[in-house]
Every structure is written in structure tokens, then in C-alpha cells.
Amino acid sequence: MESNKKYWKGLEELQNTKDFVEKNKNEFAESLPMEEVLNEAGLSTVTPRRDFLKALGFGLGAVTLAACQKTPVHKSIPYLVKPEEIVPGIPNYYTSTFNGHSVLVKTREGRPIKIEGNPNCILSRGALDAKGQASVLDLYDVSKLKGPVLNDADVSWAKIDEFVKAELSKVGGKSIRIVSSTVNSPSTKAVIADFIAKYPSAKHVQVDAVSYTGIIKANEASFGKAVLPRYRFDNADVIVSFGADFLGSWISHVEFNTQYASKRNAAALKGGKMSRHIQFEAGMSLTGTNADARIPLKPSEEGIALLNLYAALGGAVSGVKKLTNQKADTAILLAAKELTAAKGRSLVVSGSNDVSVQTVVNAINSLLGSYGSTIDLDNPSYQYTGIDSDFVTLVSEMNSGSVGAVFFLNSNPAYEYADPKAFTEALAKVALRVSFADRKDETASLCQVIAPNHHYLESWGDSNPVEGYYTIAQPTINPVYNTRNAEQGLLIWSDNAVQDYYQYIQNNWSKSVLPQSGISWKELLQKGSVTMAPKTGGAYSSAGNVGAAVAAIVAESNALAKAGDNAVELQVYESTGIGDGKLANNPWLQELPDPVSKVTWDNYVAIGPKYAEQLSIGENDMVTVKTDKYEVTLPVLMQPGQASGTVSIAVGYGRTMAGKAAAEVGKNAYPFMRLVNGTLQGNAAATISKAGGIYELAQTQTHHSIEGRNIVRETTLKDYLKDPNAGTGHRHINHAELWPEYEQPGHSWVMAIDLNACTGCGACIVACNAENNIPVVGRDEVRKRREMHWLRIDRYYTINDSGAKVTKHKEMDDLESMDNVSVIHQPMLCQHCDHAPCETVCPVLATVHSSEGLNQMAYNRCIGTRYCANNCPYKVRRFNWFNYWNDSRFDNYMNNEFTQLVLNPDVTTRSRGVMEKCSMCVQRIQTGKLQAKLDKRTLKDGDIKMACQQTCPTNAIIFGDGNDPNSEVSKALKSERTYYVLEEINTKPGIGYQTKVRNTVEV
């Protein structure tokens, strides 16, 4: 049906005007100016001047503003072809070998960032020392050579090979010498043997900076076995050490730490047993700080004391003078009693390098029946095989001009030999001088050819540190610089059939170890080591000539104990951190406080405070120590426990050509070493005099007494056996709560630290540095007390004064003698308090509590008021005073783009002005949790290990979930010995400490 209605749009339509009709024809009622716009004239319309200027102005302004935004330059380069084994963000672990210890190298995106002990390692059991932890930093050392050097010019390897081969062919009748520190790598040995086969006039001379020739020679004389035995501290109930720092630096200290702790840790105490350790020594060593009884003894008395001990044990000896040192005399008799009672379970060791002294030690151990139980001669150690006299012979050979070529492999005699001048002069007479040093060091700078060796993380290698134990090293990164394996060089120069060292090693292993052990090459690379069934350690009785030793010892003692006004006995020792000085250019190690003195970045003259008073030498004084062949001027360190009449100086310092970090750090003490009866002795008769001037040592701890506070708690074994709670001194604790209890429904991360297991070695500090990208601040900043270590080891001295314990500094000053010192080490790190004083005072909530009991730092939120650090009773918070990673004044490692590659990408570097502290390796916790989640399982106890815990050779640190009653940490914290530091202020720390138990000798 049609509608009648008509709708119209407007009057025009209704009226149907002419105009409307006309317009209605078109789609658009009004004509669009399309034509005008699109015609030529429209397109070529000139923009008005004003509009143009407006547009130009805006454009210019906008572009300028846009350009103000600095476009970040991302230097990351993606993988063109992604390697199959690398997943960005996921670390790969490779086995390798450091100093004979099998290690795991953590690599991220192809670069090694952390070294961890290999749990399969029979020496370290997964632990590692400070040097091992720090060794990764050396890979990124910019002081290293970038390529081979020939006569101070950078050349190609081909040129080097050509030159060396030509020179070798010119040697003629002269001899060739390969000088190295101990080589226990079977493949390197084979390479050298092949080289010698090609050049029959060649000989391999092994020399160690700090040598153990005395023990090797003595064993040769006593048992016909020229070896270093394997000591078994884990079998020893009574340990008597004469100056052997077996926990700090002696032979295989990581292994010894593990063994030693096994007789003193929680498990041993549970069994009601603990070893007794008596230490006689001049300077306070790390081992001395752990001893149950420590008796200061001058170097001149050491041999005499051993002879007295031998006599007291019933050894037949005549012509022994009595000890003038009354205390030592009593202690010797007591030690004899203890040793006799523990026959077969006792061990006497001496740090001396004197054959006569070691002969007496052998005789004593033989009397005690130690061979076969605490000393194993059948599975010897190959960690140090250098023979001092070999090198002496070499120097005289070189001097006579009979040496035509000399190669230095991992040896730097110009620095570490006792008589560097004689060596340097002799070396000048050698026609071909080749060094394999990775840098132009003291010796390499005297050589025509420097053929830089790979860092161990770049190269293939192997090691046979002890009998029946073989480890493999595999490269974890392509060589960073143009370096080459030293072995490869020797292979090429000797025209070996196999010139590829990797192939050579593989051949070498397939010939011997692999068939013997029955494992494949791949399995080897995965496990990192091969352990053969150990031989049974036989019992031996010493055939050493003690009678002859007596004369030598007495003569030597008289030579050391010179009379005179300023006469002192000097002891030169190897420090725990820097060691023999090979790693001196490592800022982590330089900043690692000495475990005893807490000094960083320097060596010093350690002297007993009371003795210094007699000589009117004060703290920070510069003194000159002079022997008949050498003198140094160094600052003084007051060392309680240092034997009166002695001073100690560490070797390993005073490197002049090791690089930036090692430059101007201390003085060289090696030239003090004396050659006596064919071995180098680290002691000497010296004089001491004030040199004028003062020098402040950079110490991380300057107050050394506990002031009667119960922060560290200890007891004696006797009291502990009566009451396991002894010494924990639990105080009345106010349980009133001001703050709500934090709920920790899932995990509750806590830690237990056993003060009885901790030896204070400091490996954990370097492990923490490496794991958490902790800045190195340098000597001046340490002096200003601004070291950044998240984890430190507090060390306190207590003086035992006729039965009383003096812990107050003022009272100590009044004592007549400070010889009888007890030392305690306490690792101190963020306690992750449940009632954290830092958390309440932060104005911006930059530090907050996690639901898993962690005290967390949000660096990005921190505005740096430092209130939290002030309010932390444990003083574990560290402030970024400067931009350590971007300030040329702190050119240690974080500042250098290349060295920055060592940084752990899981941990952010902190900017200037923010607070930082131990995070309880939160990145490791997170990784562990994620891994468990990916594996669709619950987190197991032990899945997550803190960096400090992992490297601890004594398992003093246990981390875990406190909510899990079966976790190791829960069990450890349940111990009666557990206490919390400053528990009376109710901060509810998450870290429980177990009291130290001393197996003190009842006189």
C-alpha cells in the first residue's frame, strides 16, 4: 500500500524551485573545489611566508627536541647462528682445573663468570679457596699481552716460531733449559719429554717460589722416597704444627681445611670428640688462629723445639740444648704427652724448608706411627715438586755461559728468586730467552720472546696433583687475546708429529689414564677428574740421620739468634690471599683482607705489640728490616701473638711489572730467602730500625678486641661435654613485639654458621665478590673504611692472662705479655632479621621484608639517606659512595668495559648513592625455585646453595629453608650450641651461629 505521506527535506524541495532541481542533479549539492585544488595553479600555490616560517619553526623545534633524547647505544650483538648449547640467561657449567683442583666453570652466553669447586674433586670436595675464586678475574685482566712479542715488537706466531726454531738450531753444544714452577700435568710433562727427545741437551728445571724441597729431600733421606706425602688431618686426633700454615697456604690447604674441620665440626662434636691442635710459630698464621693452644716460638727455636719433642717422645738424640723459652719448653713436654697418648692418630708437621728439621719431623712421626694413618707416603702429592738446588745449579750454568736457550713456563725468577740480581746477570748470558708469561712480567721483560700462554679458562690442560687423581681442564671461552698454549709452542718448536695440543692431550689420556680407569673422554669432560683406587698407605719407619741433623739444626739456630741491639729474627711467609704473588694483579685478592691482620693492598712488618714498645716502634711507623743481603722499608703492623724478638713479612708483594693493581703494593720479600744446605730458608737474622715517616695500612677492621661483649660465644670441649649449652649464654630476651609477625607461609630462608668449623680463610668473601658484582674500592677507600664486601669475617683477639680472659682493649694495653692469644673468626653478613631495624627507618620503603624471610633491597628505590646503615646493629650495609663502575678513580675492574665481562648478569650493578648488602644470593634462590617449577617438583633441601656456602672448605655455612624441619639448616639450628648475635635486642636474626668450642689443653 502506498503511503500518502510525503516527507520533504526543505522548503526548496516542497516548492521544487528551479535552483533545487538544478542542484539535485549532482551528488553533492554544492560543487566541490576539486578542480581548483587539483589543477596546476592549485598545486603550485605558493605557501604564504608566514605559514612557511611557522612550519619551519615547528619542524626545527620538534626535530631539535626529538634529537635531545639520547638514543641508547646497545652494544649487544645477537647470535647470527645460535649455538645449540647456549640459551641466553641459562648458565653452562664446564669442568676445568685450577691448581690441581677440579672446578666447575660457570659460563653465561659464552663467557666464564664464576669458578666453583667440583664436588667430585677429592681434594676440595666442591670447595675452593680465595685464589681459585678470584682466578676468573685474571681472564679479563687488561694488563695481559695481546699477542706474542719478539724483541719488544708485536709479531705473528709464525714469526715467533721461525725465530725460536732458528735460534734453537743455533744452540749447538750449549744446553737448553725449561724452567717452570711445579708441573704436575701429565700432558705438559709428556710435551716437555718430547721436546727433550728432540733436543737432547734440554732439561726441565722445576722451581717453586715457595718450595717444599726440605720435605722432599728429608723423605728421600728417611724413607728413600723423594716425595711430598699426602697428609691426612682427618685421621689426626692430635695435631702439632711447627710453623706450618696448613689452613692458609701450606701445600694443599683447601684439602687440609676440609680434613681439619671434619675432626672439629658439629658431627665430630656430636660424637663427643674433637681434635686437639697445638701450634708453635713465630708469626700469627691463619692456622695459628685456629689452634687450641698456640705457643709463640722464634724461628731459631723451632728446630730445637722439635729436637726436644723428639727427645721427650723417647727418641734417641744427643747434643740437644734445652729451650730457653720456658713456656715453649713446658708446651713441648705437654705436646709429647698428648702425642704419645694418641699414637697412630697424631701428626706433627713443620713449615720449615730445612732438610735437617724435616728429618727430625720424619723421625718424630715415625716414632708416633703416623705413617700409614696420618701421613701417606704411597699416594704422594705432586703439588710441589720443585727442587731449590736445581735452580741454583741452573743459575751457575747460565752464568758460566753453558746455557744456550732458556724457557720460562709459569715461573718468574726475576721476581721470586732469592737472588734476583745473580739470576738477571746470568740470564743475560743466555742467547735465547723465551717466556710463556701472559704478561710482560719481571722475567718476561728480560726475554727476547714472549709467547703468551692461555689463561687456564681458555685452554686444554690436565693435572695430576696427587697420586691416582687426574683432572682435566677444558677451554670455556675462545682465547680472548692472540695467545697460544705454551705446550703447543713446545710441540711446534720440537716438530712434534702432533702439533695440536688438544689432540696431544687426548692421545696422552687414551694411552694411559682412560684405559686404566675405563671411562670415556666424554665422561671425563663431564666429571672433570678420574680417581684411581688409592694404594694402601704403608707404615714406614724413618731411617733419617737425626744425629747429623742435630748439628745442622743447632748451627742454624745459633746463626739465626744473633745478639745485638736491633737484632730480630725475620720470618718470611706466604699469605693466604696473595700467596706466592703470581695472582698479585688480581684486585679481588688485593682487597681481600688478610684473615689475621685484616690488612688489604699491602704487606707489612708484623711485630708483637709489647716487643715493638721495647723498640719504641709505634703503630703505622715505617721500619727498615735489614739482613746481610737485602733490606726493605715497610710499615709496621702490631700483631698480637707474634713471638717476641721476631718480625714477619709476607712474600707475593712488591710486584713491579704484574699490572696496574699490583703496582705499588708492598715490597718484595723473596730476596730475604737464604740458601742453606741446598734449600731456601724463609728465615734470617735481621736488624730492625725506624725509617722515619708513617704509613697507614688499609685495614678493614681496626678494633680487635670484643670488649667483653657476648657477640662471639665460645666454650671448651670439657664444658661442652658436660653441658652442650655451655657458652651459649642465652640471655633474657624481651619477647614483646612492636611490629606484626611476618608470615612466611612458603619458605623461610635461614642460615647457620658454625664458628667451630669456620677457619677464617676468606674464600667466601671472594666468592661473594664474584657472585654479586661487588665493587673493589682500592687502598685509599679501604683506609677510609669504605670497603664494599657484603660478607666479612670479624676477627677478635682475646688475651689469656693467667687463667683470665682479657677482652678489653684498655686492659690489654696494661698486660705485660700479649703472647697467649686466642682468636675467633666470625663471618658477618646481613642477618636478614625478621624485625629488621633497617626496614622501619627507610623513608621510601627501599628495604623491605619478603614473605620468605629475606630482607630485600630495592636499589632503584633507594635515595641514599644511609639511615638503614646507621640503624643496623650488625653494620653490614654498604653504601655506594661513588659510581664505582663508571669513575676513572676506581679503575679496578668494574670500570673497564672488557673486565666488566666478568660481571654476573643475574645481579645488577649498583649506581652511586644507593645502599647495598647481602641479598642471600636471591638470584640463586630464584633460579632454584624456577628450576624446581620447571621440573614440576618441590624444592629439595640443598638445591640452592649460597655462593659463600658453596666455596667453604669446612662447610661452616649452611643455608636452607627453616620451614622444613628436615633441612640441614633446621637441624643445624636445633643444635644446643646455636645462638643469635645480639638476640637481646630482639631483631630476630635469620642467621644462627654455633658457639666455638676450644679443645684447650689443661696445663
Q: For residue 329, give the C-alpha cell.
A: 719448653
Per CB under 8 A, contacts with other proteins among 907-936 are 911-915
Q: Does 834 bind other proteins (CB under 8 A)?
A: no
E strands present in 420-523: 432-435, 449-450, 461-466, 469-473
Pick between residue 334 and residue 848 the one whose CB is nearest to other proteins.
Answer: 848
Q: Is 862 in the site for other proteins (CB under 8 A)?
A: yes
The nearest distance, CB 907 to other proteins, in angstroms, is 19
Q: Whose Cβ is closer to other proteins: residue 629's or residue 861's?
A: 861
- 213, containing H or E segment: helix 213-223
Q: Which is nearer to other proteins, 381 or 831 (CB)?
A: 831
For the chain, give the longest Cα–Cα distance.
149
* Of 489-497, 642-650, 763-771, 863-871: span binding other proteins (CB under 8 A): 863-871
CB of 859 to other proteins, least distance (A): 10
| Minimum distance, C-beta of residue 729 to other proteins, in the bound complex (Å) | 13
Phi, then psi, of 269 in degrees rounded to 5 = -65, -40
Instruction: Please identify, using beta-carbon distances, which residue of 19 and 696 lies nearer to other proteins.
Output: 696
Where residue 369 falls (left for φ over 0; alpha for ψ -120 to 50; beta otherwise) is: left
* Cβ distance to other proteins smaller for residue 218 or 706: 706
CB of 598 to other proteins, least distance (A): 9
764 is a contact residue toward other proteins (CB under 8 A): no
Query: Is there binding between residue 139 and other proteins (CB under 8 A)?
Result: no
Asked if residue 961 binds other proteins (CB under 8 A), the reply is no
Smaller CB distance to other proteins: residue 781 or 852?
781
- Tell the smallest beta-carbon distance from residue 869 to other proteins (Å): 4
CA angle in degrees (0–180, nearest 5) for 669-674-678: 140
Binding mask 7-46 for other proteins (x = CB under 8 A): ----------------------------------------
**Among residue numbers 207 through 266, which ones bind other proteins (CB under 8 A)?**
none
Decide: is 708 part of the binding site for other proteins (CB under 8 A).
yes
Among 828, 857, 918, 921, binds other proteins (CB under 8 A): 828
CB of residue 637 to other proteins, shortest distance in Å: 17
484 versus 878: smaller Cβ distance to other proteins: 878
* Separation between Cα atoms, residue 673 and residue 417, nearest integer Å: 8
Does residue 880 touch other proteins according to CB under 8 A? Answer: yes
Out of 128, 770, 842, 956, name the contact with other proteins by CB under 8 A. 842
Q: Which long-range contacts (CB under 8 A, 24 or more apart) does 925-932 make?
A: 925/749, 925/852, 925/854
Please, which residues have CB within 8 angstroms of residue 43's CB and are 6 or more apart in sequence? 37
Of the pair 459, 826, the CB lying nearest other proteins is at 826
Note whether 230 and 380 are within 8 A (CB).
Answer: yes
How many residues at the interface with other proteins, by CB under 8 A?
57
What's the sign of the alpha-carbon dihedral 298, 303, 307, 312?
A: positive
Nearer to other proteins, 981 or 997 (CB): 981
Residue closer to other proteins (CB basis): 273 or 779: 779
For 83, 269, 755, the CA distances from 998, given in Å and listed in that order, are 55, 11, 11
| Residue 143 Ramachandran class (φ > 0 left, ψ -120 to 50 alpha, else beta) | alpha
The 3-state secondary structure of 633-678 reads EEEEEECCCCCCCEEEEECCCCCCCCCCCCCCCCCCCHHHCEEECC
Which residues within the stretch 678-707 sit at the binding site for other proteins (CB under 8 A)? Answer: 701-707
- DSSP letter assigned to residue 272: T
**Closest separation in Å from C-beta 320 to other proteins:** 44
Please say which residue, 475 or 778, places its beta carbon nearer to other proteins: 778
Kindly report each contact of residues 330-334 with a partner whose C-beta sits within 8 Å and lies 24 or more positions away, as own/partner: 330/1003, 331/278, 331/280, 331/293, 331/295, 332/305, 332/308, 334/278, 334/1001, 334/1003
Q: Output the smallest distance, CB 348 to other proteins, in A.
A: 34
Does residue 92 belong to the site contacting other proteins (CB under 8 A)? no
The answer to whether the beta carbons of residues 716 and 825 sit under 8 Å apart is no
* CA–CA distance, 648 with 468 (Å, rounded to integer): 37
Stretch that binds other proteins, among 37-45, 76-84, 581-589, 874-882 (CB under 8 A): 874-882
As measured in angstroms, the least distance from the Cβ of 864 to other proteins is 2
Contact 413, 386 (CB under 8 A): no
Judged by CB under 8 A, the chain residues 776 through 815 that form the site for other proteins are 781, 784-787, 792, 794-796
| Of the candidate residues 53, 55, 551, 845, the single one contacting other proteins (CB under 8 A) | 845
The binder of other proteins chosen from 844, 930, 937, 974 (CB under 8 A): 844
Report the nearest approach of other proteins to the CB of residue 875 (Å): 4
- Cβ closest to other proteins, residue 10 vs residue 843: 843
Distance from the Cα of residue 281 to its chain's centroid: 24
Rounded distance between C-alpha atoms, residue 982 and residue 992, angstroms: 11
Shortest separation between residue 913's beta carbon and other proteins, angstroms: 3
Nearer Cβ to other proteins, position 4 or 888? 888
CB of 791 to other proteins, least distance (A): 13
CB 782 within 8 A of CB 600: yes
Quick one: 512 or 886, whose CB is closer to other proteins?
886
Cβ atoms 344, 232 nearer than 8 A: no
Decide: is 742 part of the binding site for other proteins (CB under 8 A): no
Cα separation values, 657 from 132, 583, 584, 776, Å: 22, 12, 10, 21
Q: Say how far apart CA 284 and CA 648 lie, in whole Å.
A: 9
**Nearest to other proteins of 676, 872 (CB atom):** 872
Q: Is 947 in the site for other proteins (CB under 8 A)?
A: no
Dig out the grid coordinates for 366 from the structure: 715415625
Residues 971-1000 that bind other proteins (CB under 8 A): 981-982, 985, 987
Segment interacting with other proteins, rule: CB under 8 A, options 110-118, 554-562, 876-884, 971-979: 876-884
Stretch that binds other proteins, among 68-76, 265-273, 665-673, 833-841 (CB under 8 A): 833-841
User: What is the dihedral sign for C-alpha 950, 955, 957, 963?
Assistant: positive
Is 823 a binding residue for other proteins by CB under 8 A? The answer is no
CB of 161 to other proteins, least distance (A): 51
Residue burial 798-826, b: 16+ Cβ < 10 Å; e: rest: bbbbeeeebbeeeebeebeebbbbbbbbb
Smallest gap from residue 115 Cβ to other proteins (A): 28
Q: Which one among 545, 840, 851, 926 touches other proteins, defined by CB under 8 A?
A: 840
Determine how many CB atoms are found less than 10 A away from the CB of residue 413. Answer: 27
CA distances from 691 to 266, 631, 726, 954 (A): 49, 12, 49, 42
Neighbours of 662 (CB within 10 A): 26
Three-state SS at 979: strand
Residues contributing to the site for other proteins (CB under 8 A): 701-709, 711, 781, 784-787, 792, 794-796, 826, 828, 837, 840-845, 861-867, 869-871, 873-875, 877-883, 911-915, 981-982, 985, 987
